[in-house]
Structure 1
Amino acid sequence: MASASAGAAPPPSLIPVSAATATTSACSDTFKTEFHPHSGHPTTVETFSAYGSGSGTRPPIIDDMPWHPFTCRADFEFAELAHKAALNKDQMNELLKFIWRVADGHTKFSFKTHADVTTAWARASSQMTPFEKHIIPIDYKKETLEYEVYSRPLWDWAMDLLANPLLALHFVWDAQRLYKHNGTRFERFFHEPWTGDRWWNLQSLLPENGAPFAFILYADKTHLSLAGTVKAYPVIAHCGNLPVNIRNVDGPGGGRLVGWLPIVPEDSDEDGKLSYTNLKHVVWHESFSILLATIILLSATGFAHECYDGIQRWLFPLILILSADYEEQCVMALIRGLNSACPCPICLVPREELTDHSTTYPKRTVKDAQDRVELWSRDRIAGEAELKKQSLRPIKNALWKVKLSNPHDALSQDPLHVYHKGKFGDHLFDEFKKHVKALGRAAEKTVDEQFDAFPRWRNLNHFDHVTNIYFTDGNKFQDISRQSIYAAQNVLTRVEDEAGYALLKCIVSYLHIDMYVSLDVHTESTLAAGEAEILVFQKLLDEYIEALGDDATKNWNFPKAHASKHVFTDIREKGAARNFSTRPNEKQHGPIKRAYKLQTNGKDIANQILRLDHMTLVSGLIRSRIDYLDEERHKVMLSERELEEEDLDDQPFGGHIHLGAPQHSLTLSQLEEENASKPAFAQFRKKFSLFLNNFLPAYNIPLPDGKTWLILSARDTVQEHRFLKVNYESAVDWKLTTDYLRCNPSFHGHERRDCALIRTNDNDGNDKNIFVRILFMFKHTVGSKVLDLALVLPMDLRTGPRHAIDRDLRLTRLRARPLASSEFITLQSIIRGVLIVLDFAIPGDYFLVNYVDTDIFLRSQRQLF
């Protein structure tokens, strides 16, 4: 987040959205950046508007023929399309014949056969580091077994990244400590890997002009065939020196397949035997050694490289982060796993104490492991006893060969497997369904109906039932968890099921932990709050187990329960959890499975899929150059007027709001007639006239024709809009964030009347924030002024003393005014959109959904309403 002159990529815009959201004081509008002493950069203190602005310099395009070495752009675009469409040889030949039959000669196009395309790909492939095949021999029971390993040399891939001019400005080399003034003091915050303590400490161990080249590595098996008989074992690498918006997305600079590990086959005679289990781990680490081969020596000696800023740096490759689920973490750390004495790959917590988060146990060290493996090589009996004490395997770890790459420090707690698939999906959700089922079919039906009644919201999966579904999708588990409290709070009551009610309290605490872990920017305060919540969850879980009594059969003492002990330490060390999440990597399993199904013959699949992946990489590189060239030409060709006239519904926009989905204009008489049966629209013209006559003078907007009072006629018109985009400053990262709101009688077959948090005045003229439901959005012209307005239903009636359930489940209760009390607002008064759900127990009451995103979660924690 430093300026480009400091070798860092400028972040997305950090511009306050509008006066409606600019609430920070001049003091709290200040950022401080401390650079690592080796960088030579002094500490900077900047205001909000200047922070992260950077120099604005764009990298140069190499030439005006970015599709080279394809003969022409059309050739590349055909080859790219055929590759994405997974066309086989016959399909491609037929398509080429068709193209040549209809070609009109307006564009150069030279492909005639599949061989032409293959030849072009072969030429293009020379631009990127290819895969290499290796055979590793392993001795097992007086027999030599051979395994195939495919790898793209890691340092060659790193050099490909460094050679890409479109990435050059974005590399960050120096550790930074970032602070934002909170009105009292500068408070440190964390997001990218270089803002964590691990990067700072590692850079301190390097020569003064040395800088880490930080690899993030992921490895996990996946099924390619539906039957599960064909498996793949991809290794995916990310560059930790690139910002997350480049590192974790498709395209140049994104995660890349760099290895394909062998899978030791299942053997009914050998499976379960210690020697065969150790064989699998030996194969893994011997294979990984090949993948790491090109960086092992350089991790000790460094590599001199002149960076884009003209500074020659001594780059030291190292493994900063290992991203994996628990099973793979055990392989990477070479521990004995679930049922061993010390099943955590990071610390030495005893197996029976995994739910104890109040005690800190010693961390594992490389030296301890090396000493025990060395003892085992000399004395099997004594060595095995020492290894068992720490649940280690008698194998040398491939990661020990890379300097400053302690695997126990690099391993991180993955939110997808630890929380969404693990703690909730495999445990809390199972308990949830058991309690609902125990109350009978009527209770299950009610919960399902209330899930189905949950309002739709962007990026939130909708479920018409949950009590009898079974899947392994962590994203869906995450969305179910965020809706479960609201859909079940009137079913799993304290009266009907005391233990079920205690479980809901556990789920609420789990959601708080999950939301804190999910933050893209952490402050010292949010980290402390997350750590405190872990102890709250431990207490509530004990209460739930006690409430179950003799019905308590589940063992909660499992490794993923212990993972919360380390997750906030990981964030302090390596930045936000998205830096070590497996989500961006598991997403890449999809293209691998698709390639297997559509583009291989089922034989020698590793070689074929890796060749296809290489084509994808080359295609992405060329496509990025073409898109860059098109963007530059587009800017030159378009006048300011043309840019203003471009459709904004699906485009970025400036300012605070953008109204979309326009409908036909209506006269006020037509509007009142069409909505005659709706109390919210009663006396629309009269109420609207009163609003305008108060609103316009308050904002110094003159009435037309010098009038002192505006009278609306039945023929005056409004234009309805059904889509609204709202820019607001995120409470999480202080950057511009966009909400998409709908006010539509039939959006994909369902009525959508979204809600919003707005700023308004109370009766004494003081500012206050309230929640409203949007009933009607429209534009209206007064003189030469076009106003963006809405008819809304305020949800600010008093709800009386706080209910016990609201305290226990930490619910924000709302109550709407009668429909006849609808009011008009200017859309500029909207702060952001919100999701509000019915309280199914009390008619007319609603709950704010605090967990729909991290911004509204933080606002609810800080009572910023």
Structure 2
Amino acid sequence: MQFREGEITHEFQGQPHTFKFKYRDPWEWLVDIVTDPTLASSIIWYPVEKYLHHGNMIIRIYDEVNTGKRWWEIQDQLPRKHGLPHCFLPLHLWLDKGKVSKTTKKHPIVLRAAFLPSETRNASGNGGGVFIGCMPIVCNPNDTIESEDDTPSSVELAQFKREVYHKVLHVIFRSIRKRSHHGDTLKCGDKIRRVLYPGFLIHSVDGEEGCATCGTRGAQAKHSCPKCLAPKLELSHLAKDFVSRTQHGMIHDFKQAKHMNYSSRLNILRDVGLHYVKNALWKINNSSPYEAYSYDMLHAFDLGEWGKHLWPLITEKVLKHSKNKISRNMRQIPRWRGLKHFSAAAEIDFADGNTFRDILKCIIPCIVQLLPHNSSLVHCVRTSAVLRALAGLRIVRQDHLELYKEFLVKYEKWFSNEHDKSFNYPKHHNLIHLPEDVENKGCTESYSTRPGEGFHQQIQQAYDQTNFKNTDPQIIQIDENQEAIARIRMFIDIHDQHLSSLTSAEDLTDGAEPPPAPVVSMANYALGCQELVISEKAEFRNCIAAKVFCSSLRVYLDLTATCEIDEGDRPTGFLTLTPYQCLYLTYMSVEDWREKTDILRCNPSFHNSPRYDCVVINTNPVTFGRLEYVFSCKDAEGQKCDLALVRKFEDSCWRPKTKWEGCRVLREKEYGFVLLKYLIRGCHLIPTLDKDKSTYYVNDLVDNDAFIRFFLDK
């Protein structure tokens, strides 16, 4: 794929402005993907409907893009004739403005194949995103949609930017325009000839780019939402339905304004929140920019709704009376694998979306005792966290969407009590469009901007290799070289892998017969960090319950474990113990039914601090416990079993100042033994901080599996 040169000229304030750019032909890239035999088995040609038996109900589920309804609707409109199959070829568009140095910004455009599974589409390498080109940055790059309104000067500048934007897109996507209407016949990687109709199903963009691709007005305009015609003063209404934007309706309004004088044209377009710009995507079939614009968890929620609005509201209200207490409480939160630990959370000046997301997961226990009784802010934050968790599920069920809509109503109720904060802003309003996006395009992972954000780093690395003069052609050449190297590397790896598999088969079977099937272990755990073997009479310096350990262990093995361990496998007599400080606990996630592993610690000095993680025990109902000692016990005849000494928890009658929905408080109970095979998964318990140290909150937001187990299915 070679880059081509493009040029457009547009007049602004009586002066012509010329913009030169380089771009790749998207159709050439699509042909490479579709005809690639290594990806033939991964390409999704047709949409599917997925259902789940849940109790006595059959519930529709959404995960990949092809499970959404929009692909179905487009596919059903295509010709159905005998002979070659006609298939919709959905595309995923990502573009964003980012810094490559302290003073320089670039605006890369990336295309992804939405007809590939997310693991392939969102990864780098063959089948991943392709760099199409750089969008010219017009005028002052510091101007954003936040400062755009309906004043004539603001409209004139914003309209100029949109016109340049869409003229560039018009040139870049010229090759797929006719093919989107009439199709093009290709012999695909699976040796079947198909008639393919490309179109844009998903735009993964932030708010500013969404307004640019849709040609709509900025955040301060009368109608600023790219998906509907919600008035500016009603953006906080989450339980109200608004008129949706449609491509047919917007084209009609544009054509109507075209025949009006200047003042009448401004009035018509202001009432529908449009600029007088001919959208380049209107001419591409099945590519409505208003339907393709998708809810982005990174910019709209993590950095927007939570990071820019709710988090500053919390720090303002709490720090006003309790300075530094948020940071102090956050420091006391137990560490957890995959969760950032904060030493000065309230003093963070800048944070990325992942940081804000981790703060949201554990902020409520840190602020609930610092705010008044039955605080609406606590309920507001909790409801937003539940909305975030529901929206972030990898497998979304229809009942999850119904619950999401219920929590939208609750969210509106609680934030209406925060009278010193206005919620009339677009990213808050966009919450009502998320269920529609999930139903039409699958789960939010399908259109997240997170995979594309990593491309800014690639552009920055390429920029650093230039001489910092006329950098676009140099960046393009560097990208071409890197793609060529990656493709060569891929074929070498495939060849080496093939040779390695043949060699292994010959080594195992001496070339006489196929290799034997691998042995599969059914154990759900593994042990690590082995310590020295000791006897049961030894002094347990690392065991908190050392005084009762020996007698309790013998009672457990002789009495309690008789029904849990076969008599021939139960250790008896003199025992030797092998302690471990790490437990790998494998379980099936109830979110997407994939295998997950928790790495749990039972260590008196893990990075110079004691760490004793907590687990969920398979009882009826399930119980919680803290790992105090993990070990294997073995007798003289070699009989062995793996056990853990745990500090068990039970429900506490103590309640915080504000009991939020789903709040569960546990208190420490007695010690006890449990076989490791009865541990389900790890759990994250947060101390009540201002209460005594023996009570804990269950953190049901630490991951999606915990959210479903401890909140949705409790």
TM-score (norm 2): 0.91
User: Deviation of residue 641 (structure 1)?
Assistant: 12
Q: Does residue 1:180 correspond to 2:52, yes or no?
A: yes
Q: Is the 8 A contact 1:656 1:726 kept in 2?
A: no
Q: Is the 8 A contact 1:150 1:261 kept in 2?
A: no
Q: Is the 8 A contact 2:536 2:577 kept in 1?
A: no
Amino acid at match of 1:828: K
Question: Aligned partners of 1:424 and 1:615: how far apart in 2?
Answer: 40
- Equivalent in 628, 647, 651 of residue 793 of structure 1: 647
Question: Aligned partners of 1:420 and 1:614: how far apart in 2?
Answer: 34
Q: Is the 8 A contact 2:239 2:408 kept in 1?
A: no
What are the within-5 Å matches in structure 2 for residues 68-467 of structure 1? Answer: 129-208=1-80, 209-226=85-102, 229-266=103-140, 272-381=153-262, 382-439=264-321, 443-467=322-346
Q: Does residue 1:711 correspond to 2:557, yes or no?
A: no
Structure 1 residues 299 and 776: CA distance shift in structure 2, 3 A: same
Amino acid at match of 2:655: H
Q: Is the 8 A contact 1:508 1:810 kept in 2?
A: no
- Equivalent in 457, 469, 484 of residue 590 of structure 1: 457
Question: Aligned partners of 1:147 and 1:367: how far apart in 2?
Answer: 30
Structure 1 residues 859 and 267: CA distance shift in structure 2, 3 A: closer
Question: Aligned partners of 1:640 and 1:563: how far apart in 2?
Answer: 59
Structure 1: segments with no counterpart, 5+ residues: 1-128, 546-551, 643-651, 761-766
Question: Aligned partners of 1:373 and 1:723: how far apart in 2?
Answer: 65
Amino acid at match of 2:674: I
Structure 1 residues 638 and 400: CA distance shift in structure 2, 3 A: same
User: Deviation of residue 567 (structure 1)?
Assistant: 0.7
Amino acid at match of 1:433: T
User: Deviation of residue 401 (structure 1)?
Assistant: 1.4
Q: Is the 8 A contact 1:696 1:703 kept in 2?
A: no
Structure 1 residues 619 and 455: CA distance shift in structure 2, 3 A: farther
Question: Aligned partners of 2:582 and 2:142: how far apart in 1?
Answer: 60
Amino acid at match of 1:811: C
Structure 1 residues 370 and 863: CA distance shift in structure 2, 3 A: closer
Q: Does residue 1:609 correspond to 2:475, yes or no?
A: yes
Deviations along 1:800-822, one digit per CA (max 9) or x if unpaired, are 3x6364633531111111xxx32
What are the within-5 Å matches in structure 2 for residues 793-812 of structure 1? Answer: 793-796=647-650, 798-800=651-653, 803=655, 805=657, 807-808=659-660, 810-812=662-664
Q: Does residue 1:729 correspond to 2:588, yes or no?
A: yes
- Equivalent in 612, 619, 623 of residue 770 of structure 1: 623
User: Deviation of residue 308 (structure 1)?
Assistant: 4.1
User: Deviation of residue 696 (structure 1)?
Assistant: 5.6
Q: Does residue 1:845 correspond to 2:687, yes or no?
A: no
Question: Aligned partners of 2:55 and 2:496: how far apart in 1?
Answer: 45
Structure 1 residues 776 and 637: CA distance shift in structure 2, 3 A: farther
User: Deviation of residue 636 (structure 1)?
Assistant: 4.4
User: Deviation of residue 753 (structure 1)?
Assistant: 1.2
User: Deviation of residue 663 (structure 1)?
Assistant: 2.2
SS, match of residue 618 in structure 2: strand
Q: Is the 8 A contact 2:125 2:486 kept in 1?
A: yes
What are the within-5 Å matches in structure 2 for residues 463-862 of structure 1? Answer: 463-494=342-373, 501-545=375-419, 552=420, 554-597=421-464, 599-638=465-504, 655-668=522-535, 671-675=538-542, 679-694=544-559, 697-699=562-564, 701-703=566-568, 710-712=572-574, 716-760=575-619, 767-782=620-635, 783-796=637-650, 798-800=651-653, 803=655, 805=657, 807-808=659-660, 810-817=662-669, 821-843=670-692, 844-862=694-712
User: Deviation of residue 842 (structure 1)?
Assistant: 2.2
Amino acid at match of 2:665: R
User: Deviation of residue 154 (structure 1)?
Assistant: 0.8
Question: Aligned partners of 2:507 and 2:142: how far apart in 1?
Answer: 72
Q: Is the 8 A contact 1:136 1:287 kept in 2?
A: yes
Structure 1 residues 166 and 689: CA distance shift in structure 2, 3 A: farther
Q: Is the 8 A contact 2:87 2:195 kept in 1?
A: yes
Quick check: 733-742 or 339-348, which moved more?
Answer: 733-742
Structure 1 residues 133 and 575: CA distance shift in structure 2, 3 A: same
User: Deviation of residue 337 (structure 1)?
Assistant: 1.4
Deviations along 1:384-416, one digit per CA (max 9) or x if unpaired, are 321111011111001111101111110011111
Q: Is the 8 A contact 1:696 1:702 kept in 2?
A: no
Q: Is the 8 A contact 1:454 1:837 kept in 2?
A: yes
Structure 1 residues 744 and 600: CA distance shift in structure 2, 3 A: farther
Question: Aligned partners of 2:541 and 2:604: how far apart in 1?
Answer: 13
Question: What is residue 511 of structure 2 aligned with on the other side?
Answer: none
Question: Aligned partners of 2:609 and 2:174: how far apart in 1?
Answer: 57
User: Deviation of residue 194 (structure 1)?
Assistant: 0.5
SS, match of residue 625 in structure 1: helix
Question: Aligned partners of 2:560 and 2:189: how far apart in 1?
Answer: 54
Q: Is the 8 A contact 2:227 2:245 kept in 1?
A: yes
User: Deviation of residue 863 (structure 1)?
Assistant: 4.3
Deviations along 1:470-514, one digit per CA (max 9) or x if unpaired, are 1141111111111110111221232xxx7xx22111000000000
Amino acid at match of 2:701: Y
Structure 1 residues 167 and 266: CA distance shift in structure 2, 3 A: same
Structure 1 residues 388 and 742: CA distance shift in structure 2, 3 A: same
Question: Aligned partners of 2:15 and 2:239: how far apart in 1?
Answer: 49
Deviations along 1:102-155, one digit per CA (max 9) or x if unpaired, are xxxxxxxxxxxxxxxxxxxxxxxxxxx132222222233444321122212111
Structure 1 residues 656 and 216: CA distance shift in structure 2, 3 A: farther
Question: Aligned partners of 2:296 and 2:488: how far apart in 1?
Answer: 33
User: Deviation of residue 185 (structure 1)?
Assistant: 2.4
Structure 1 residues 668 and 204: CA distance shift in structure 2, 3 A: same
Matched residues, number? 689
Amino acid at match of 2:220: N
SS, match of residue 530 in structure 1: helix
Amino acid at match of 2:339: L
Q: Is the 8 A contact 1:190 1:196 kept in 2?
A: yes
Question: Aligned partners of 1:131 and 1:486: how far apart in 2?
Answer: 54
User: Deviation of residue 238 (structure 1)?
Assistant: 1.1
Q: Is the 8 A contact 1:324 1:582 kept in 2?
A: yes
RMSD of aligned Cα (Å) = 2.5
SS, match of residue 780 in structure 1: strand
Amino acid at match of 2:634: T
Percent identity (aligned): 28
Question: Aligned partners of 1:667 and 1:806: how far apart in 2?
Answer: 48
Deviations along 1:435-468, one digit per CA (max 9) or x if unpaired, are 11211xxx22322111011111121111101222
Q: Is the 8 A contact 2:525 2:677 kept in 1?
A: no
Question: Aligned partners of 1:310 and 1:175: how far apart in 2?
Answer: 20
User: Deviation of residue 680 (structure 1)?
Assistant: 1.4
Question: Aligned partners of 2:652 and 2:125: how far apart in 1?
Answer: 51
Q: Is the 8 A contact 1:662 1:719 kept in 2?
A: no
SS, match of residue 243 in structure 2: coil
Question: Aligned partners of 1:541 and 1:809: how far apart in 2?
Answer: 15
Structure 1 residues 445 and 700: CA distance shift in structure 2, 3 A: closer
Question: Aligned partners of 1:641 and 1:450: how far apart in 2?
Answer: 58
